Structure 1
Amino acid sequence: MVLFLIFAGLFTDYLWFDQLGFAEVLTTQWLASAAMFAVGFLGMALPLFISIDVAYRWRPVYAKLNAQLDRYQQVVEPLRRAASFGVPIVFGFFAGVSAANQWPTVLLWMNGGSFGEVDPQFGLDVSFFVFALPFLRGLVGFASAVVLISLVAAVATSYLYGAIRVAGREVRISRTARIQFAVTAALYLVIQGVSLWLDQYSTLTRQGELITGATYADANGTIPAQQILAGAAIVVAILFVITAIIGRWRLPIVGTAGLLVASLIIGQGYPALIQTFQATPNESAYEAPFIERNIEATRSAYGVADVQEETYAVTTEPEQGALSDDAETTASIRIIDPAQVTDAFGQLQQFRQYYGFPQYLDVDRYEIDGQMQDTVIGLRDIDMGSVSGSWVNQSIVYTHGYGVVAAYGNQRATNGQPVFLESGIPVSGALGEYEPRVYFGETSPEYSIVGGGENLEFDYPGSEDGEEDSYYTYTGEGGPKLDNIFKRALYALKYQSTDLLVSEYVNDDSQILYDRDPAERVQKVAPYLTLDSDPYPAVVNGRIQWIIDAYTVSDNYPYSHIESLSERIADTYTPSPTLPLDDINYIRNSVKATVDAYSGEVTLFAWDDQDPVLEAWQSIFPTSLTPMSEMTAELLDHVRYPADLFKVQRAVLGTYHVTSPGTWYEGNDAWISPAEPTQSGDNVPQQPPYYLSMQVPGTEEANFSLYSTFIPRATGANTRNVLTGYLSVNADAGTGADGEISEEYGRFSLLTVPGDETVPAPAQVQNNFNADRTVSTELNLLRQGDTEVISGNLLTLPIGGGFLYVQPVYVQSTGQSAYPVLQRVLVSFGDQIAFEDTLDAALDVIFGGDSGANAGDDDVPTVDPETGEPADPGTEPTQPESDSLQQALADAQEALTARQEALTQGDWAAYGVADEQLQDAIERALVAGGDIPGGEPATPEEDAPAGE
């Protein structure tokens, strides 16, 4: 039964990989693991068996034993033969399991090529440290364990059978035992000598207090000391060999004691003396060459060697018409926050409870009417938590989600709802015709049985006018076929379900779809890659494709600074992930992977074919990668610079934007990414980078970009919330000629703020918003009653000669089906703040009424939520002429004051009257502000205020 269970797991894995076309990946892993297990098993079991056997065979035959040992022999002797085989087998098994897990290290060593770069200390190619050194250290560690265990086994066996006798203070060892012990000890010391020799190379990847890599004390003390100790270990090993010949133990014992003393004096004391009396008193000067090594290696290993600082002559005084040169950027300012509109997508586009959208939507761009348009996009995936628990419903009927929902990033409807460019069931909109069914998504069922019968799978609900629900039969090749009883039995065992065997809905035409999460599918077929935390969907060539960025990483790049990948990835929207390799000092975005949402097909495109680590893996799995040249132009239009890589690079550039060793050592120009400005308290996560289409100063046109800001690195009361730097990268790969990758893709821009200018950072701007009297008054009014105010993402844009901050403000009622609606827009430039109904109006307030940003108005064109037709450009939301927003707010403030006075005086009648007046004023303010156009309900399904 145990063997059959193992076979069932292995065979179903093979069926899954074979159906995807990646069977070679699985079989290579199996063969490599099996070979490594065999090597580990034999490498431990054989020496241990030989050591025990030699000690027993050459035991003294007529040795006189004491009574205690004699009793031990009587107990052990009946089990001796079993133990002589069993002990090596048990140790060999554990050694084999440990060795089997090291197949990636061994295969990388066997297939690794050259980096074309040499380390500055030893002049070795970087590949030695990345590929060879981990293997050699693992091999030496394994050999050391084998020899040590063999020596212990030999000593125990010799003592039990009289080859070692203790009489008082005298220890007698037989000649054969002496030879065996001495030779084994000599071999152990040789291995330790090799280990010490390899330790000198490990200093280049060791994290120290100042830098990663060898410091002055290491180069002049530790490394020479390790070379000396390695030679001393070989000398002591020779002394043990001499003992095996002449039979005297004094020389190796003295030599071993001398080696221990030398390791303390030479290995520990000498480097400490150099550090204390030379390096520390003159650290800045002595460590400068080593800091320079660290800077150069770190920038190279993290792919930021070419990033250069550019001083941004920033102004904090807005001028009329200052945005005229940035009209393309202001036209694309994204006022729809993908983290806040999920509920709006759900209420307006979910249609049924068994559909759902991800917690955070994605930002992408599409060509609409000849113009590239930033969009907020999400898949209408199946939500199995809302499906009844019967096996038929869970596995046969509800099998897939349906369609893409996308909204303009820079537009809103007059009632604050998103303006959809793709929506509805059946799907329709600007994205054209495509296969809308989502069989492979982030919330897909654990497994589904498809294709086995006509119209068994629920497709989409009928309309409200009586149209019946639609059903569908899967026609793709997304999973292994259940075309015989044997396969059905294996999967019934795998999923502990007898229904798979007996259900009439499962037949020879059925397929089983499982492991359906896009990231999980990519990780299984490419176990050597570290995946980005944010797979995102895109409509490409008539299909929904999941696009997933993948990285090759290492922690063995010499002199490169070590970063915690999980800590750098974590931010407001991304929890800290669990990663197989967390502490890294080398990373490349080597692969762009796609997963077809309908067929589940996985394609791995070799994005960075110059990456030596990827080249090594390509040699190991030669058929798993597809050349980047096979990516279509439409797919390239949706490939973007990955956010996780950018987060790691911005963390590195926070310190390593400084290239002068002296300045780097002083540490007075170190930066960090700011904390999330909309949150407060302890352990606030860092603000995430944002995707925006904008024209960065120094570039010729606007591009889809990814950006982040910097503030000074400090702690406690010394923290200054001022902007010191602005990092952006061209994230658009598909704007090059003839559908090729744009030469600008991946190009960084690092703007630095002159030290004599004080530009508020995001946290300070958020504080200014909250402290502004006008803003706080209006926000407090919006919070009255059954509503709450939600601050959207605070965006920072380098336009108008300075930095412009834009934040959408959402209002949400507390009803059960409430969702946030975009009500107002906050804008800040320097010390100026505007809080208006539209972005264009706010920019006009800041820049004197003629911002030059007409194209950037979030209400140009506004869209009427009832007709779906564009409103007149520049018009404000419809409101009664007799009830302006200003009057409503003034009435609300007057009523609020009256209510507070009545509360103070205990006049509850007056309090009730004032409270009614306040509620009335708030409702009129919402109507006048556009939340309820003309006072009429805006939702399509029920008579309720917009947002419910």
Structure 2
Amino acid sequence: MIAGLVILFFIFAGLYTDVLWFDQLGFVNVLTTQWIASAVLFVIGFIAMSVPVWVSIQLAYRMRPVYAKLNSQLDRYQQVIEPLRRLAMYGIPALLGLFAGVAAATRWQPILMWLNRTPVGQTDPQFGFDIAFYLFDLPFYQAVLGFASAVVLIAALVAVATSYLYGSIRLSGREVLISKAARVQIAVTASLYLFLQAISIWFDQYSTLTAQGDLITGAAYTEVNATIPGRAILAGIAALVAVLFIVTAIIGRWRLPVIGTALLIISSLLIGSLYPWVVQRFQVDPSARSLESPYIERNIDLTRDAYGLADVDEIPYNAVTTAEPGALREDAETTANIRILDPALVSDSFGQLEQFRQYYQFPANLDVDRYEIDGKTQDTVVAVRDLDLDGLNDGNTWVNSKTIYTHGYGVVAAYGNQRSADGQPVFLESGIPTTGELGKFEPRIYFGETSPEYSIVGAPEGSDPIELDYPSGEEGAGQTYTTFDGDGGPALDNAFKKLIYALKFQSEQIFLADSVNDESQVLYDRDPVTRVQKVAPYLTLDSDAYPSVVDGRVKWIVDGYTTSASYPYSTPVSLSDAIADTETPAQPFALDSVNYMRNSVKATVDAYSGEVTLYAWDDEEPLLQTWQKIFPSTVKPMSDMTGDLMSHVRYPADLFKVQRAILGQYHVTEPGSFYSQDDAWTSPNDPASPAANPTLQPPYYLTMQMPDQDEPSYSLYSTFQPNASGEGSRNVLTGYLSVNADAGSVDGERDDDYGTLRLLTLPKDGTVPGPGQVQNQFNGDPTVSTELNLLRQGSSTVLNGNLLTLPVGGGLLYVQPVYVQSTGDTSYPLLQKVLVAFGDQIAFEDTLDSALDVLFGGDSGAAAGDTEVPVTEDDISTTSPTDETATDGATDGATSTGDPATDAELKALLEVANTALAEKQAALSSGDFAAFGVADAKLTETIASMLALLGE
């Protein structure tokens, strides 16, 4: 009894904490709707299974022959079962009802979707039904029929078992003797089962439109002309056999239903299997190209529609492969915005330059965003400085990890197209406290991708703050503390709440610690994707949430998709496979195989308060409209988005990956060519991935101008090459896909061009090299190899950055940054070289400007934009590095003395240092090791003199 009460209290504690969490976020109706729906369905499932089974057992028992003569074996069975008969008669139905109730409760989503279904306004080409029938109705009907069939079948089995046990069914030699009562019960039950099967077979006609065949998904010639009519006939035969079982219940002869059942089995073999095979083998296969053409066209049209590809702007692009002088002049704005900073490689650079303490960290892959700087949109590589409690080592106690180290601090952002003279990122926002170009904003990160499992925050007004805000001053001194004053989690304002959260997190400290007071809040489920998924369980979420400074706050932006596997004639794709590439590992999804996908919701999570806001990005999408009926008032209209937020919303990468996977085959819209598979494409493998385990090249965000655009836009792009392997494969480009990823500007208006997909189709006999071929050219070039060997001196490692492809100069330009990282625990990659390729010509220089000038004959038309920031007088910081505040990418941490004479000496030494640096780089480029050593010694001596002047 006590153990049961304890278990019930633990269950209650878990449920109550869920209520507190959802209520604090303002989404408690999402939780209660799920609970109510699950509870109602559990009751329905329990009753729908247990009552028919109980009635079946009771009827079989009560109508047993009282004086039946049983064999000795059955007598023994009855003697064993009789003491437990009453328990079994109620226990078996109850147990089966329990399983059925649980199964029904898990199906709350399709049930609620059917009850709140929304018309699509488009019909399927075979039956003429609104597509909503396949999205909402058909899954519901099939689920109900499957459940009902299981109930009737189980009821029949228990009836037969009970009748046999109590003598209503007896074996006499070769004969089976069945009492009248048992005959009626079994025949009626069998009739009901066959009626259900008849209805199920009838609905199976419609399932052909989502069935995956060898050639296409959906009903092709054989299905339309053989399978669908055959299923209609079989449904009629099944209904006829069901009537024959009713006749048996009346007249007592089993011959008719037995013959009918045999006829049904034979018909299913002949009509359901043999006839479609004959049609396929002898009619379709010899003339498949012409007979299948209209059905291939259906598949093409509806697949492209299901993935939002119906309006792809296809542009023939006869790319040249010879770099001509001045060819980049018309594309100057694109080349000026080329991102040479690789977000997948510079995490260590961010860490060494901006981490400051061991309890901070940056993600392995940083994000690409854009900000308006001095009236111009600037691509930036961004990350938040989040907590890493493992860095506390022995200091990772409960008090430290749960009440003191509660949040990360600040956003770090670097120019995507700039680097310092020594290859470091050039930061536009950095430091602790944070300073830079992004203006004033709340820098504290209480909700991040690596936030602790839970933290206890908040304190009474007037009490000393204990949460470490940020380090300042000399090592170990002058720490700054704060107190969380937002509404980020359930309040621990009474002993009972402290107790239930102590149980939830298995920590008695929550209940006993004096730092947990009536003003405390408990913050948990802090990952932005987790928070959005809990309040919107119907969404499939993008794998990459990214932070942006919006309206004075740091907000995580998360893309949400409505998906389905029931769109007629649409080819399914595996989400986990489609999004997997070098930067994104394969991951499981609740619904992995989908054939319909829309980016219907944009969600934000406030990094300080944890507030979750959902915006209807596609308010005409039928699945979202249905869910808005189920969970009213949880999704805000897009008009509620501020202009600042709109300017940071982007086209999501996971959707783009799925679309490129589909377009690899479905860029072909002519049925004959589609059937021949003579122009299938695939995304190229990432040249940086291991040859033994290649992964797809990820799409990249860039600001660029496509051939039919009037000005550059923030875009996402990927490339295609022939889908062939082996000796005949060609690593040349066949297509270039981009999408306008810029949703709008700070004026709040959504850009009409947002989401426009543009597909550059290259000539089939083209020779534009693919990424793998360019990487091979790069690695095999003797000049490049020599310089790489020079860079590898001293056990340094050369790291190839992202290989970007841009449609400029009338062709396709490849740009790849090259990083060098020395050995040592504190080393980090430095951008030292840039590879440029156009056709079969390559250049390998210190800067992108130089590389383009070499490639295009010294007349690239405009500065490419990879601003190399030299060490100048303006770079002298006014803060000592011991204060651990941020400096820009070229600062050596020197401190202005305030002495004019000393400052003049410093200025002169800076000029010497710049000269030495230029000489060092020139020697490196020419391979003159002696000159390199002289310049390096000169630079070292000059820096030492500067430090001596500064007294360091």
| Fold conserved between structures, TM > 0.5 | yes
User: Is residue 407 of structure 2 the alignment partner of residue 416 of structure 1?
Assistant: no
Q: CA deviation at 1:884?
A: 5.8
* Aligned position for 2:683: 673
Q: Tell me, yes or no, if the aligned pair for 1:301 and 1:585 is still in contact at 8 Å.
A: yes
Q: Tell me, yes or no, if the aligned pair for 1:413 and 1:865 is still in contact at 8 Å.
A: no
Match of 2:700 among 679, 690, 696: 690
Q: Distance in 2 between matches of 1:153 and 1:811?
A: 74
SS at match of 1:33: helix
The count of aligned residue pairs is 910
Match of 1:143 among 141, 145, 148: 148
Match of 1:336 among 341, 360, 380: 341
User: Is residue 756 of structure 2 the alignment partner of residue 751 of structure 1?
Assistant: no
* Aligned position for 1:878: 914
- Residues 171-192 of structure 1 deviation map (CA, whole Å, 9 limit, x = unaligned): 1100000000000000000011
SS at match of 1:716: coil
TM-score by length of 2: 0.93
* Aligned position for 1:15: 20
* Aligned position for 2:516: 506
- Residues 789-838 of structure 1 deviation map (CA, whole Å, 9 limit, x = unaligned): 00000000000111110000000001111100000111011121111111
SS at match of 1:418: coil
Q: Distance in 2 between matches of 1:760 and 1:249?
A: 75
Q: CA deviation at 1:435?
A: 0.4
Q: Tell me, yes or no, if the aligned pair for 1:554 and 1:584 is still in contact at 8 Å.
A: yes
Q: Tell me, yes or no, if the aligned pair for 2:787 and 2:927 is still in contact at 8 Å.
A: no
Match of 1:577 among 578, 587, 591: 587
Q: Tell me, yes or no, if the aligned pair for 1:415 and 1:865 is still in contact at 8 Å.
A: no
Q: Distance in 1 between matches of 2:187 and 2:405?
A: 71
Letter in 2 for 1:142: F
Q: Distance in 1 between matches of 2:418 and 2:571?
A: 43
Task: Within 5 Å, give how 1:428-443 maps onto structure 2.
Answer: 428-443=435-450
Q: Tell me, yes or no, if the aligned pair for 1:888 and 1:924 is still in contact at 8 Å.
A: no
Q: Distance in 2 between matches of 1:209 and 1:2?
A: 52
SS at match of 2:47: helix
Gaps of 5+ in 1: 893-917, 944-948
- Residues 541-581 of structure 1 deviation map (CA, whole Å, 9 limit, x = unaligned): 00000000010000000000110011001110000011000
* Aligned position for 2:894: none
Q: CA deviation at 1:226?
A: 0.5
Match of 2:832 among 794, 804, 823: 823
User: Is residue 430 of structure 2 the alignment partner of residue 403 of structure 1?
Assistant: no
Q: Distance in 2 between matches of 1:513 and 1:769?
A: 50
- Residues 17-71 of structure 1 deviation map (CA, whole Å, 9 limit, x = unaligned): 0000000000000000001101110010000000000000111011111111111
* Aligned position for 1:897: none
* Aligned position for 2:373: 368
Match of 1:843 among 852, 870, 888: 852
Q: CA deviation at 1:310?
A: 1.0
Q: Distance in 1 between matches of 2:300 and 2:77?
A: 63
Q: Distance in 2 between matches of 1:39 and 1:832?
A: 71
Distance of aligned partners of 1:815 and 1:651 in 2 relative to their CA distance in 1, 3 Å threshold: same
Q: CA deviation at 1:723?
A: 0.6
Q: Distance in 1 between matches of 2:237 and 2:131?
A: 28
Q: Tell me, yes or no, if the aligned pair for 1:109 and 1:135 is still in contact at 8 Å.
A: yes
Q: Tell me, yes or no, if the aligned pair for 1:590 and 1:609 is still in contact at 8 Å.
A: yes
User: Is residue 701 of structure 2 the alignment partner of residue 711 of structure 1?
Assistant: no
* Aligned position for 2:812: 803
* Aligned position for 1:564: 574
Q: Tell me, yes or no, if the aligned pair for 1:641 and 1:731 is still in contact at 8 Å.
A: yes
Letter in 1 for 2:436: G
Letter in 1 for 2:50: A
- Residues 483-519 of structure 1 deviation map (CA, whole Å, 9 limit, x = unaligned): 1000000000111111111110011111000100000
* Aligned position for 1:101: 106
* Aligned position for 1:913: none
- The answer to which of 329-338 and 854-863 deviates more is 854-863
SS at match of 1:154: helix
Q: Distance in 2 between matches of 1:75 and 1:202?
A: 48
* Aligned position for 2:489: 479
Q: Distance in 2 between matches of 1:696 and 1:29?
A: 46
Q: Distance in 1 between matches of 2:35 and 2:935?
A: 68
Q: CA deviation at 1:678?
A: 1.6
Q: Distance in 1 between matches of 2:751 and 2:91?
A: 63
- The answer to which of 932-941 and 300-309 deviates more is 932-941
- Residues 326-380 of structure 1 deviation map (CA, whole Å, 9 limit, x = unaligned): 1111110000000111000000000000000011000000000111000000000
Q: Tell me, yes or no, if the aligned pair for 1:243 and 1:249 is still in contact at 8 Å.
A: yes
Letter in 2 for 1:474: F
Distance of aligned partners of 1:400 and 1:59 in 2 relative to their CA distance in 1, 3 Å threshold: same
Task: Within 5 Å, give how 1:548-559 maps onto structure 2.
Answer: 548-559=558-569
User: Is residue 388 of structure 2 the alignment partner of residue 383 of structure 1?
Assistant: yes
Match of 1:642 among 628, 652, 664: 652
Match of 2:433 among 426, 436, 456: 426
Q: Tell me, yes or no, if the aligned pair for 2:184 and 2:249 is still in contact at 8 Å.
A: yes
* Aligned position for 1:910: none
User: Is residue 672 of structure 2 the alignment partner of residue 662 of structure 1?
Assistant: yes
* Aligned position for 1:769: 778
Q: CA deviation at 1:2?
A: 1.0
Match of 1:257 among 258, 262, 266: 262
* Aligned position for 1:54: 59
Q: Distance in 1 between matches of 2:32 and 2:136?
A: 23
* Aligned position for 2:736: 726
Q: Tell me, yes or no, if the aligned pair for 1:417 and 1:822 is still in contact at 8 Å.
A: yes
Letter in 1 for 2:214: E
- Residues 416-461 of structure 1 deviation map (CA, whole Å, 9 limit, x = unaligned): 0000000000000000000000000011111111002531100000
Q: CA deviation at 1:859?
A: 2.4
Q: CA deviation at 1:781?
A: 1.4
Distance of aligned partners of 1:120 and 1:419 in 2 relative to their CA distance in 1, 3 Å threshold: same
- Residues 876-935 of structure 1 deviation map (CA, whole Å, 9 limit, x = unaligned): 99343995655556666xxxxxxxxxxxxxxxxxxxxxxxxx7x777568799xxx7997
- Residues 268-293 of structure 1 deviation map (CA, whole Å, 9 limit, x = unaligned): 00000000001111111110000000
Letter in 1 for 2:364: Q
Q: CA deviation at 1:718?
A: 2.4
Q: Tell me, yes or no, if the aligned pair for 1:412 and 1:862 is still in contact at 8 Å.
A: no
Q: Tell me, yes or no, if the aligned pair for 1:765 and 1:828 is still in contact at 8 Å.
A: yes
Letter in 1 for 2:584: T
* Aligned position for 1:908: none
Distance of aligned partners of 1:820 and 1:924 in 2 relative to their CA distance in 1, 3 Å threshold: farther
User: Is residue 328 of structure 2 the alignment partner of residue 323 of structure 1?
Assistant: yes
User: Is residue 867 of structure 2 the alignment partner of residue 858 of structure 1?
Assistant: yes
Distance of aligned partners of 1:470 and 1:870 in 2 relative to their CA distance in 1, 3 Å threshold: closer
Distance of aligned partners of 1:415 and 1:881 in 2 relative to their CA distance in 1, 3 Å threshold: closer
Distance of aligned partners of 1:922 and 1:240 in 2 relative to their CA distance in 1, 3 Å threshold: farther
User: Is residue 83 of structure 2 the alignment partner of residue 67 of structure 1?
Assistant: no
Q: Tell me, yes or no, if the aligned pair for 1:204 and 1:213 is still in contact at 8 Å.
A: yes
Distance of aligned partners of 1:197 and 1:925 in 2 relative to their CA distance in 1, 3 Å threshold: farther
Match of 1:346 among 351, 360, 375: 351
- Residues 750-782 of structure 1 deviation map (CA, whole Å, 9 limit, x = unaligned): 001112431001111011100111001101111
**Cα root mean square deviation, aligned:** 2.2
Q: Distance in 1 between matches of 2:416 and 2:852?
A: 18
Q: CA deviation at 1:682?
A: 2.7
SS at match of 1:856: coil
Q: CA deviation at 1:463?
A: 2.4
Q: Tell me, yes or no, if the aligned pair for 1:782 and 1:922 is still in contact at 8 Å.
A: no
Gaps of 5+ in 2: 1-5, 878-887, 892-906
Distance of aligned partners of 1:767 and 1:876 in 2 relative to their CA distance in 1, 3 Å threshold: farther
Q: Distance in 1 between matches of 2:574 and 2:837?
A: 34
Letter in 1 for 2:813: L
